[in-house]
Every structure is written in C-alpha cells, then in structure tokens.
Structure 1
Amino acid sequence: MKTNPGRFFEDYRLGEVIRHAVPRTVGQGERALYHALYPARGALYSSDEFARGVGLKASPLDDLVAFHTVFGKTVPDVSLNAVANLGYAEGRWLKPVWPGDTLRSESEVIGLKETSSGATGVVWVRTKGLNQHGDVVLEYVRWVMVRKRRREVVVPVAVPELAPVVDPGALVVPEGLDFSRYDFDLAGEPHRWGDYAVGEVIDHVDAVTVEEAEHMLATRLWQNTSKVHFDVGQREDGRRLIYGGHVISLARALSFNGLANAQMIVALNAGAHANPCFAGDTVRAWSEVLDKAETPVPSVGALRLRLVATKGAAGALRGPEGKYLPEVLLDLDYWALVPR
C-alpha cells in the first residue's frame, strides 16, 4: 500500500520522535496571505522601517505564521485522523522567523491515554519547529483526540505533567529588540505596559463572520491536511470543522483594538478549543490581563493575556457548573511583549 491512511491511536509509541515531511521556505507571500485572511495589522509585522526602529534588522514574519507553518507539518503524522485538537501548553517562540527561512518540524510522543468510549485516545506531542540552520524557532506541547482503528488494542496509559504557565524568566526577547524609541502613533494606540492592570477585561469590539472558502484557503495555506476541515463525510452532521488555528488568528487580529502594542507572542501557556467553530459563525474576541512581568530589556515588558474567541458577550466564559459556555470557541493563555 503506497498511500497513507494516517496514524490511529494505537500506532503511537511513547518516546517516539517523528521527523515530519516537507520542509517549507516561507516569505512575503505567506505574510501577504496571512494579512489578507485575517484583519492582522500589528506594526512590527507590517513594516520593515517600524521593525528597524525597535532594533530588529527587518520585519519578521508574524508569530502565528511560524506557528501555523510548524503545526501544519505535523498534521499528517499527528492529527490526520483526529476527532478534535484539544489543547496546548509550554509553548515558546525562541527566534524570529524571517522571509526566506526554511522551517521543518519534529515531534516527540510524550503521552497516551485511551478515552472511556474505547473508540478514541488522546495523544500528547512536544513539537519543535527548526529553521535551515537547525535552530529551534518554536516549541510547544499539544494534545489531540485520535480515532482508534481497533477497539480491542490496549495502549499503556502515560499522561505527562505540564507546567500551567511558562515562567516569565524563560521568555525569550529577540536579540536587539528595544522599545525605547517605540512610535506609538504609528503603532496605532498609546497604551504602555504600565497602563494595563491585572484583572482588566478588554472588549475588542469588532467581529468577523467565518466564510467556508476563507477557512479552507487558510488551512491549505498552512498545508494542514486534517480530514475534518475538508471532507463533509468525516462528521455525522456533514459540516467541515474550522481549523482551530484559524480561530486563534482571527481572535489575535481582532485583539489589535485594545492591544495594538502587544506586538510579539513569546509564549503559549495553555489553550483550549472550547467548542467547534463552523462557517457562518461570527467570531468576537475579548482579553483578560492575567499577569505582568519585567524582562531583561528595560524598555520591554510582558503581559500574560487570556484571549477568548466567542460568539457571545465579552467577559462571559463559563457557566455555573464550571463548563465553557456553548458560545465560547477558544480560551488561549499567552505572554506578549509590550513597550514600557
């Protein structure tokens, strides 16, 4: 058999390292398409001159371009037969990705657990994105629910212990980054690190209705081949599931209104795709400031932010029983760099 049906839950082995196929050279085309697909307008990722003004050699590619590219490489080996992508942890952006860089991905299987139904299991992987020099530019843990091929196969349980938050001391400030000459007018908002308070909730006001064609184009752009995003026969309801990363990028772009100066994502503490998203859904976003931290660079501070994508109201997250409200699509906890 020469075709690849994808891995099923019982095909994974604890400690296995998977070198994912098809490295990809990324460039200005990915930037242009990213900014066309999402209302992305962060100044540092839009302008070489703005980036040089804060100490970088040019404008790097958007942090989520790097994430989606690295993620997409893993799909044929990790989530081709996935029912759902469940969550993220221990993510760190370690180096900027520049136009012309070539990215590839490697994943280590760090956890396995069958679900109670016996029809699926959860697989945890730690993924690294590497550039053409072998430098790790991005790393993260994710876990995904994968179908079983044969219910009778028993897989030993191993659930990894994951840090609930990336320690601020482990955040990497890109070499040369210096916000002491930051141009707030060109960035679009005047708010500094000190203007944000822990516990503050920010309604990002704007909204985007998800279109079938756009989400499928975006998912193909990142070479994500997961069947549930394209094949209407994969779900009983005959609907194509929106790639969770598409929702992440929509919410991140919407957060510009109130967080325009949260220029760079440097860590991913936790994340959950709380409910499925489908074409026709209108996505809104709100953020909560969870924590603040200094960095080794005096002009650069870090905000720990909860970013919520929702079809409902700002500030609404869970019901009385503690479960996510049905209108909540995404609950993402991340660190971002902000001028002080």
Structure 2
Amino acid sequence: MAKTNPGRFFEDYTLGQVIEHAVPRTVSGGERALYHALYPARHALYSSDAFAQASGLPKSPIDDLAAFHVVFGKTVPDVSLNAVANLGYAEGRWLKPVYEGDTLRSTSEVIGLKQNSNGKTGVVYVRTRGMNQNDDVVMEYVRWVMVRKRDVDAPAPETVVPALNKVIAAEDLVIPEGLDFSNYNFALSGEAHRWGDYEVGETIDHVDGVTLEEAEHMLATRLWQNTAKVHFDATFRPDGQRLIYGGHIISLARALSFNGLANAQMIVGLNGGAHANPAFSGLTVKAWSEVLDKAETNVPGVGAIRLRLVATKGGAPFELRGEDGKYLPDVLLDLDYWALMPI
C-alpha cells in the first residue's frame, strides 16, 4: 500500500465534498518578524502593540495577509498540489484578528466543478474557512484553481459554477471588537491622509519597486507551508522556472501600497482577485491603487474604503487591460479589497 500522497487530481473532487486540512499551526512573533523581513511591511497597527492598544485592540495582531497565508497554506496539499494555476478569489472576509499564540486550521468545501474543453484539466471551486483554537472562524474565502486530470479519459463531472457576489456589501464587513480610531495618531502611522481625503475614482501610484529574489520567494512559500509543485520543482514546468506563489505578490503589492495608503490599516474583505500573469524571480514589482468605493461604519472613527490594488512588472501605472479586454502583459495582480481607515 502506497504511503506517499500524490495529491488530488481533478477527477478526485466531488461537489459538496468537505476536506479537513492537516497540520494546525500555532502562530508566534516569528511570523510577524519573518513577514516584515520578507516584505517592506510598515502598517502601524501590525507593527506596534502600543499603537494597536491605542486603537482599542488588546495588542498588535498578525498581519491580515500573514494570517491568510497560514490558512491558505494548509489547503495546498489537498486543493492545489497538482494545480496549473490559482485563478481567482471572491467573498473573502476577515472575521476575527489573529494574535500571537493562536492556533489556526483550515477546512474547505467543494462548491463547483468545471472540466476544461481540452479534457486535460478542470477548474475546482472551494470555500475555505480558517478556524482558531476555539473553533471561531477567523476568515473565509472562495478560490478557484485549475487542476490537472490524472486520466484524460475520466468522465467529466456535471458542470457547476457557483454564483458568487462580485462585491461584499459594506454592512457585511466585520469590524474587530473594540476597534476605535477616535484618537488615531497620524504622526506615528506615517501619513496624514484619512478616509475623507480619498475620492472614488482616485488613482495612486505607489512609486516604489522591489525586485523579486529567488531566495525570498522560496523562503516565503516554505514559511506558509505551501507545497504546490510549481513553486518548488523546476522540472515541473516546461520552461524550467519556479512559479512565484501568488500570495507573495499580494503581500509585496500591499506592502508597497503603504506609500499613499499608510492608513488603510486592516483588510476586512476580499471582493475579487486575479493573478493576471505569472511572476518569476528577477522581475521588478511595482504597484498602483484605485479607490473604488467608500462606506461609513457604526464604529467610532472608522471608515471602510474599497480599493483596487494592481501589481505590475514595472509597467506604466493605471493601465490594466488592452483593447481586447484582456489583462496587459505587464499586469501581475488585480485585487479588489475592503480596508478600514480612520475618518
């Protein structure tokens, strides 16, 4: 009897299947230190216990995206070990902050299946939930992945493509208990721009760039225990290159967005996202943002801002798609998210 796990292929998934992902992980201050070493992450709420406490939280949480990577990484051996590409995200919500000492685990439910016309691959849709040691759901999101078939002659399943909300309604965003920006310290946060200073339709060039290093993306992928073959095995792709984990690009772009959006502190919603083109070491990543919407909340001093975050290979800012409607070759990431900002 085989003892090793080759991973699931497309024909191994069934609609409604629930997968309990292995290896819970207790997060520590090491996660924060490594996250801030890998990315130029500087948002004050995630850097300082004192700043977080002045904002009504017990202490500084782990960065929202670091928590996302931990939850995501648990799912890879069961969902995307044999993936060709991670295609998109929707209906993501951060429901509780994650603190040092919390233990996270993940479960996923298969909510959609669609075999591709070439008969060699198919798209699997899963809704993933991350839970802490108290069985509280700390975050949830939907993603869809293109997965290889083991047997191209295996019959195609009935096509089910889930109907997903394109945008999370502002009233469905969950604001952490106790959060209060009434006495927000703009001098310590790094910028004076508040929620009222941004206008819908405004675009922001984040100016800075970071060149991708092979060692850094490999360290990041190992840190999140992401075992997808395309990220580690140079023989797995015809071009002999290791594909950079899309979450690495998300975190890098988010960190670059500090310059212009330093006060977009907490990510609370993920409306949608696409890894538009593959990324490899040696590329220089730059980022720009567009303000898509704004909403007031019932929490003191706290406003919600909906942002499009675009990462590029250094292409011209504010250019996203060509005349054919497809993403331009320089675009790496198109992410639509909600963040909380002082009013």
Q: Which TM class, normalised by the smaller chain length?
A: over 0.9
Q: Which residue of 1 aligns with 2:109?
A: 108
Q: Which residue of 1 aligns with 2:205?
A: 203
RMSD: 0.5
Q: Which residue of 1 aligns with 2:141?
A: 140
- CA distance in 1 between counterparts of 2:212 and 2:117 reads 33
Q: Which residue of 1 aligns with 2:174?
A: 172
Q: Shift of the alpha carbon at 1:297?
A: 0.7
- CA distance in 2 between counterparts of 1:63 and 1:13 reads 31
- CA distance in 2 between counterparts of 1:161 and 1:194 reads 34
1:175-254 aligned at under 5 Å gives the runs 175-254=177-256
**TM-score, normalisation: structure 2:** 0.99
Q: Which residue of 1 aligns with 2:79?
A: 78
- CA distance in 1 between counterparts of 2:168 and 2:288 reads 22
- CA distance in 2 between counterparts of 1:296 and 1:245 reads 31
AA of the residue aligned to 1:329? L
AA of the residue aligned to 1:121? G
- CA distance in 2 between counterparts of 1:295 and 1:114 reads 42
Q: Which residue of 2 aligns with 1:326?
A: 329
Q: Shift of the alpha carbon at 1:313?
A: 1.4
- CA distance in 2 between counterparts of 1:11 and 1:190 reads 52
Segment drifting more, 150-159 vs 139-148? 150-159
AA of the residue aligned to 1:137? V
AA of the residue aligned to 2:90? A
AA of the residue aligned to 2:221? T
Q: Which residue of 2 aligns with 1:27?
A: 28
Q: Which residue of 1 aligns with 2:132?
A: 131
Q: Shift of the alpha carbon at 1:116?
A: 1.1
Identical-pair percentage:
76
Q: Shift of the alpha carbon at 1:2?
A: 0.6
Q: Which residue of 2 aligns with 1:291?
A: 293
| Structure 1 unaligned residues grouped into runs of 5+ | none
**TM-score, normalisation: structure 1:** 1.00
Q: Shift of the alpha carbon at 1:298?
A: 3.4
- CA distance in 2 between counterparts of 1:266 and 1:136 reads 13
The Cα offsets for residues 48-92 of structure 1, whole Å up to 9 and x where unpaired, read as: 000001111100100001100000000000000000000000000
AA of the residue aligned to 1:3? T
AA of the residue aligned to 1:120? T
Q: Which residue of 2 aligns with 1:89?
A: 90
AA of the residue aligned to 2:170? P
AA of the residue aligned to 2:80? S
AA of the residue aligned to 2:165? A
Q: Shift of the alpha carbon at 1:153?
A: 1.3
Segment drifting more, 294-303 vs 139-148? 294-303
Q: Shift of the alpha carbon at 1:261?
A: 0.1
Report the 3-state secondary structure (helix = DSSP H, G, I; strand = E; otherwise coil) of the residue aligned with 1:141: strand
Asked if 1:258 corresponds to 2:275, the answer is: no
- CA distance in 1 between counterparts of 2:241 and 2:231 reads 9
AA of the residue aligned to 2:184? Y
Q: Shift of the alpha carbon at 1:187?
A: 0.1
Segment drifting more, 106-115 vs 153-162? 153-162
Report the 3-state secondary structure (helix = DSSP H, G, I; strand = E; otherwise coil) of the residue aligned with 1:332: strand
Q: Shift of the alpha carbon at 1:224?
A: 0.2
| Structure 2 unaligned residues grouped into runs of 5+ | none
The Cα offsets for residues 122-164 of structure 1, whole Å up to 9 and x where unpaired, read as: 0000000000000000000000000001111122211100000
Q: Number of paired residues?
A: 340
Q: Which residue of 2 aligns with 1:339?
A: 342
- CA distance in 2 between counterparts of 1:64 and 1:338 reads 17
AA of the residue aligned to 2:82? N
- CA distance in 2 between counterparts of 1:217 and 1:249 reads 14
The Cα offsets for residues 22-41 of structure 1, whole Å up to 9 and x where unpaired, read as: 00000100000000000000
Indicate which of 272, 276, 279 corresponds to 1:277: 279
Q: Which residue of 1 aligns with 2:54?
A: 53
- CA distance in 2 between counterparts of 1:232 and 1:119 reads 21
AA of the residue aligned to 2:296? E
- CA distance in 2 between counterparts of 1:296 and 1:74 reads 35
- CA distance in 2 between counterparts of 1:116 and 1:262 reads 42
Q: Which residue of 2 aligns with 1:37?
A: 38
